[in-house]
Amino acid sequence: MGKVGIIGVGQSTFVRQYPGSIRELVFEGFKEAMQDAQLTTKDIDASVVCSAPEYDKQRSPAGVFAEYLGLNPQPTFYVETLCSSSSTGLKLAYSLVASGLHDVVAVLGFQKMSEISSAESQERMGRGADIQWESPFGTMMPAYYAMYANAHMETYGTTPEDLAMIRVKAGTYGQLNDKAAFRKGITMEMFADPENRMAGPVASPLRTGDCCANADGSSCVIVASEEKAKAFSKKPIWILGLGAASTTVNLAGRDLFTGLTVAQQAAQQAYQMAGITPKEIDVAEVHDCFTIAEMMAYENLGFAEPGQGKELIRAKETYKEGRIPVNVDGGLLSKGHPIGATGGSQIRTIVLQLRGEAGDIQVKDPEIGLVHNIGGVGLYGNVTVLGR
Amino acid sequence: MGKKKEVDDRFKKFGTVSFAAITKINDFVTSLEEGKVMGTRCTDCGMMLFPPRADCHQCLASNMEWFEVSGTGKLVTYSKLEYAPMGFKEDLPYSIAVLDYGDYKVFGRIASDVPEDQIKLGMEMKTVANELPNKQLNYVFQQIG
Ligand SMILES: [Zn+2]
């Protein structure tokens, strides 16, 4: 079996409210990736569309996008794992190419969250949990992750200040990312000031500043067989490892509340497939839907021992110049989190890093990068290892 | 023509807002009305299941008996919500939590009369049936003593 490469990446600017329809939004990410790969639509053999349902009214969006993007009569279909939908899309594209069924596959992630109110959106996300046994209690994403934060703090002595440091880092790099929805710098003083919006309680112990915000956005990743990748691209980025895992939806079925088992398992699989250890990762994108999620990612990916994640951020080891730079594009916390588009945006960042095309946020000469993308409350875990 | 068939949709009474009405374990709601919180035990393999299920994934049997969630469980973790999803604003503030009973865990809410400064991870709590202000039913975790 030959290698599978990424030859084009693109994303729309992530915004609070996109002034257009979902097909127009998806066109933006697609166009950037197609221009990046210098392809025409007839070069694309199949497309995979990725999002979480019920934010817009369109059912079966794959057909609509194939029409709008000029990808008929090629096959197209839809996949969903909530916030990790486009990492799952990448895994499917890899399988389609590795199996020899198709040579070039476009992975299209999108979400237009602004069509509904914030409280409705919390209800939708809450219904990504167990609607029969959890949602009737009034659950929402920040509260679920807050339960992990509470257990992590109690077990390891992680503090609200440690979590705030992660948000400050995200703000540092969000300012440099012209695709990010939130480009303001964040300071520790904001978290310390009870009058400041950042310090406002959402679900204890998480504050407004600990949570990413909804956004509208699209992303596109174009995957190709080794032969096509070498023919089309001067700098193909190779998919070296893929891991994915699931766990119980209902938190009552889980044993670990200080980390995500799906991330541990997906990372293990991806490292094994790539034949590497965590030490060999030069740059990483992790799913920081909440500050605590990035803290747990440090530990679940093996960048730090369990409970030692706080030492990484305190020593600024996850900054651009540190031992393991994480989310130097501002992460979900600064970019915003358009559910189905997020994984593709993370992949785009790592591809640009490995090509040496990341501009102001370029990490020094990285060879191997990692993407950690989680769906739901640690429900679906996806880890992808990429290399030059 | 025949009479309209009666639909057993008792589950729509579960929680502030219910998102399911018809399930094979609807007796759970009738037990809640009687003040009892029940799980199911597989009579083939003995596995205790909470939330209750109609089917056992361990032995693929569907022979269940009810057991009462009794005694105390340890508070594994919780979070107090200051902001609620659509449909739950009237309940604010409230805390969601997980209790560990050893053989199974229970996801639910902490009773609204438990002062927050008395909530400690690891504390023993009990699960009790509860009627909500809107006459819906759920269960909550209470302090011991
Ligand atoms: Zn059984």
Per-residue pLDDT of B91-120, as tens digits, reads 999 999 999 999 999 999 999 999 999 999
The amino acid that residue A354 corresponds to is: L
Phi, psi values for residue B133, rounded to 5°: -55, -30
Q: Is the peptide bond before A160 cis (omega within 30 degrees of 0)?
A: no
Residue list, CB under 5 A from ion ligand 1? B 42, 44-45, 47, 56, 58-59
Where are chain A's structural domains?
4-117+214-232
Distance from Cα B61 to the centre of ligand 1, integer Å = 6
Radius of gyration of chain A (CA): 19
Q: Ligand 1 centroid vs B44 CA: distance in angstroms?
A: 5
Cα-to-centroid distance, B58 and ligand 1 (Å): 5
DSSP assignment of A46-91 equals EEEEE--TTSSS-SSHHHHHHHHHT--SS-EEEE-BTBTHHHHHHH
Torsions phi, psi of B66, nearest 5? -85, 145
Q: Which of A69, A82, A63, A57 is nearest to A25 (CA)?
A: A69
The reply to whether residue A257 touches residue B106, judged by beta carbons under 8 angstroms, is no
Q: Tell whether B104 is within 8 A of chain A (Cβ).
A: yes
At how many degrees (to 10) do helices A22-37 and A61-69 cross? 50
How much is the pTM? 0.97
Residue A206's nearest CA partner among A125, A137, A165, A149 is A149
Which residues of A are catalytically annotated? 83, 337
pLDDT at B44: 97
CATH classification number, A4-117+214-232, choose in 3.40.50.1860, 3.40.50.2300, 3.40.47.10, 3.40.640.10: 3.40.47.10
> How far, in Å, CA of A144 to CA of B132, rounded?
22
For residue A199, the 8-state DSSP code is G
Q: Which residues of B touch A147 (CB under 8 A)?
A: 77-79, 96-98
pLDDT at position A118: 81
Token pair of B32, please? 């809640």
Give the pLDDT score at B130: 97
Name the β-bridge partners of A220: A10, A108
Chain A residues whose CB is inside 8 A of the B78 CB are: 147, 150
The alpha carbon of residue A253 is apart from the nearest alpha carbon of chain B, in Å, by 7
- What's the token pair of residue A112? 């237009």
Q: Nearest CA to CA, how far is A149 from chain B (Å)?
A: 9
Structure token pair of residue A349: 């960042």
Task: Identify the pLDDT of residue A122.
Answer: 79
Provide CB contacts within 8 A for A288, sequence distance 6+.
A166, A170, A212, A294, A297, A327, A331, A332, A333
What CA–CA distances, in Å, run from A343 to A43, A50, A157, A274, A381? Answer: 23, 10, 31, 19, 11
Report the percentage of chain B scoring pLDDT > 70.
98
pLDDT digits (tens, 9 = 90+) for A161-207: 999 999 999 999 999 999 999 999 999 999 999 999 999 999 999 99
Which residues in chain B have their CB less than 8 angstroms from residue A144's CB?
Answer: 79
pLDDT reading at B1 higher than 60: no
pLDDT in tens, chain A (388 residues): 789 999 999 999 999 999 999 999 999 999 999 999 999 999 999 999 999 999 999 999 999 999 999 999 999 999 999 999 999 999 999 999 999 999 999 999 999 999 998 878 878 887 888 999 999 999 999 999 999 999 999 999 999 999 999 999 999 999 999 999 999 999 999 999 999 999 999 999 999 999 999 999 999 999 999 999 999 999 999 999 999 999 999 999 999 999 999 999 999 999 999 999 999 999 999 999 999 999 999 999 999 999 999 999 999 999 999 999 999 999 999 999 999 999 999 999 999 999 999 999 999 999 999 999 999 999 999 999 999 9
**Mutate which of A122, A123, A137, A296 to disrupt the B interface (most B C-beta within 10 Å)?**
A137
Rounded to whole angstroms, how far apart are CA atoms A119 and A139?
12
Which of these, A314, A334, A324, A308, lies nearest to A363 by C-alpha position? A324
Domain ranges of chain B: 10-68, 73-143
Q: Are B121 and A149 in contact (CB under 8 A)?
A: no
Rounded to whole angstroms, the Cα distance separating A63 from A229 reads: 26
Helix (H) or strand (E) run with residue A26 in it:
helix A22-37
Contact assessment for residue B75 and residue B126, using Cβ atoms and an 8 Å cutoff? no
The Cα–Cα gap between A99 and A92 comes to 10
* The residue type at B34: E
3-state secondary structure of A238: strand
- The yes-or-no verdict on residue B5 having pLDDT over 90 is no
- If we measure between CA atoms, which residue out of A182, A128, A170, A115 comes closest to residue A290? A170
Tokens representing residue A204 in the block: 């204890």
User: Which residues have CB under 8 Å from A111's CB, separation 6+?
Assistant: A51, A52, A55, A215, A216, A217, A218, A338, A339, A340, A341
CA dist., res. B122 & res. B80, Å (int) = 16
A244 Cα–ligand 1 center, Å: 28
Q: Is the pLDDT of residue B2 over 70?
A: no
CB atoms within 10 A of CB B144: 8
- The interface predicted TM-score of the complex, written ipTM, equals 0.96
SS3 of B25, please?
A: coil
Q: Which helix (H) or strand (E) holds A155?
A: helix A141-156
Which residue in chain B has the smallest CA separation from A133? B51
Closest to B59 (Cα-Cα) out of B80, B72, B44: B44
Distance A127 CA to ligand 1 centre (A): 28
* A201 reaches B (C-beta below 8 A): yes
Structure confidence at residue A117 (pLDDT) = 86
Q: Is A311 on the interface with B (CB under 8 A)?
A: no
Quote the pLDDT of residue A32.
98
Which pair of structure tokens corresponds to residue A313?
């951020």
**Kind and range of the H or E run holding A268:** helix A261-274
With CB atoms and an 8 Å threshold, state whether B51 touches A150. Answer: no
- State the DSSP code for B60: -
The reported pLDDT for the residue numbered B3 is 67
